[in-house]
Amino acid sequence: KKMDMETLVGLCKSRGFIFPGSDIYGGLANTWDYGPLGIELLNNIKAAWWKKFVKRNLNVVGLDSALLMNPKVWEASGHIGGFNDPLVDCKDCKARYRADKLVEDYYQSKGEEATGVDGWDQQELKNFIEEKEIKCPQCGKLNYTDIREFNLMFKTFQGVTEDSQSEVYLRPETAQGIFINFKNVARSCRKQVPFGIAQIGKSFRNEITPGNFIFRTREFEQMEMEFFIHPDEGEKWFKYWKEFCKQWLLDLGLNPDSIRMRDHEKEELSHYSDATTDIEFKFPFGWGELWGIANRTDFDLKRHMEYSKKDLSYQDPVTQEKYVPYVIEPSVGLNRLALAFLADCYQQEELDNDSRTVLKIHPVLAPFKAAVLPLSKKLSSEALEIHEKLSDKFMVDFDEKGSIGKRYRRQDEVGTPYCITYDFDSLEDNCVTIRNRDTMEQARVEINKVEQFLEDKLNY
């Protein structure tokens, strides 16, 4: 049986995965701190992503670009200037909307196409809403505030003295750091199109409606790859990376019924995109975007050429053809992925005359790969030796407190796939008992073969 959101949030806190941010000060809305178990999970997800996207792909390389960038980057990308969101609030029920979206929905309800609404200014939007008496979808009133421009970027200041300070932004996506380094990477690593640049890092967005635990927060971590291709090969590579991402999820044990692919309608596409597919996940609160795969065309590189006045085109060394590459971008949120794995794998399991909470997560993602448990405290030093040896290779827990049954349960609850029990017989036969988290079956294994046993199970 799967968990509801409240139970999941409670388990994450009590088992050391995720704590409410600034807890002792009454919290800070929608911020979360990752505990000892949570950080292991995040690191394991990142490592699995890096392994399949970078390490195992000769034509993909990594990057770690600065979080703070020249503000011109954001003019070029459209984050400052052109594409700010015009927001309007209902004075009665306080619901908040994007004004352009209200207008578009109005057109759609009339069965008409909403062409050109994108370019409308605040006054045009306000006039239209009043003229057509577009009511608040939530409470049905027609009582809006003025429209205000909203920028999702966090603004801060660089420089220590008042007069030398200049405005900078925290990046709202990792992608732009990749685009502006396209030439640096291609040249220094002698990469030829098609090739990709991958990056993992924090992004910040002043989201209008954060919430649903770690699904949508203002500070989050992204794993993005920009794959540069010849403009004629968009369809082929778009399809390739869609499948690749889906397979990555399935290989890590996500239930196929928990995900679905959703293609964006033409009207829904971002200004820069030719085609977008979301891999959606069935979260406890409903289906939501997990991974966006987009054909960003040559939009970003062309805009950076325009704003930086640098040539970012590419010349094919064989055909000599010169062109601005298209880009296929799979972009996924690390925290959202963690939530998906936790929601998918946490189960309340009914046993014969008992029940247990168990996190049936792929061993590669499990925070602890194994736990060493001496049956009695008298056996601690021998058991610690095993822990000492294994911990050189794996993240391994050690627990000598409480009955063995309780200790098994504790490990089940944090997803440890193998419990290694050292008992009095071990002193004689040099073997330990290894218990499997999912089947609860136990097997006797020679101590000097335990390392190999784990290695085999963690083959990924």
Binding site for ligand ATP (CB under 6 A): 205, 207, 216-217, 220, 222, 289-292, 331-333, 335-336
Q: Rounded to an integer, what distance in angstroms lies between the CA atom of residue 111 and that of residue 415?
A: 51
Annotated binding residue 308? no
Shortest distance, position 334 Cβ to ligand ATP, whole Å:
8
Q: What is the dihedral of CA 217, 221, 223, 226, to 10 degrees?
A: 80
Would you say 207 or 388 has its CB closer to ligand ATP? 207
- Residue 331, annotated as binding a ligand: yes
Q: What is the DSSP string of 287-299?
A: EEEEEEEEEEETH
Three-state secondary-structure class, residue 453: helix
Q: How far is the CB of 210 from ligand ATP (least distance, A)?
A: 6
C-beta closer to ligand ATP: residue 77 or 421: 77
Q: Distance of alpha carbon 362 from its chain centroid, rounded?
A: 17
Tokens of 108: 């759609």
Q: Is 453 within 8 Å of 445 (Cβ atoms)? A: yes
- Whether residue 303 is annotated as binding a ligand: the answer is no
DSSP 3-state assignment of 63?
strand
What are the contacts of 261-267 at 24+ separation with CB within 8 A? 267/104, 267/114
**Of the candidates 80, 37, 331, 388, which has an alpha carbon nearest to the alpha carbon of residue 201?**
331
* In the complex, least distance from residue 352 CB atom to ligand ATP, rounded to whole angstroms: 40
User: Based on CB atoms, which residue is closest to ligand ATP, 333 or 367?
Assistant: 333
- Is 400 part of any known ligand binding site? no
Q: Which is nearer to ligand ATP, 336 or 437 (CB)?
A: 336
Give the residue carrying structure tokens 């049936």.
360
When CB distances to ligand ATP are compared, the closest residue is 333
Which of residues 277 and 335 has its CB atom nearest to ligand ATP in the complex? 335
For residue 382, say whether it is annotated as part of any ligand binding site.
Answer: no
Strand partners, 90: 144
Shortest distance, position 53 Cβ to ligand ATP, whole Å = 15
Q: How far is the CB of 333 from ligand ATP (least distance, A)?
A: 3
413 assigned to a ligand binding site: no
Is 459 marked as a binding-site residue? no
* The pairing of beta strand 275-283 with beta strand 18-20: unpaired
Task: Please tell me whether 329 is known to bind a ligand.
Answer: yes
Q: Compute the least distance from the CB of residue 276 to ligand ATP, in Å.
A: 8
d(CA 296, CA 276): 9
Closer by beta carbon to ligand ATP, 182 or else 220: 220
The set of residues, in sequence order, having a beta carbon less than 8 Å from that of 278 and lying 6+ positions away, is 261, 262, 264, 289, 290, 291, 292, 293
Minimum distance from CB of 100 to ligand ATP (Å)? 16
Residue with smaller CB distance to ligand ATP, 283 or 422: 283
Q: Which residues are annotated as a binding site for ATP?
A: 205-207, 215-220, 289-290, 333-336
Q: Which residues are annotated as a binding site for substrate?
A: 98, 173, 220-224, 329-333
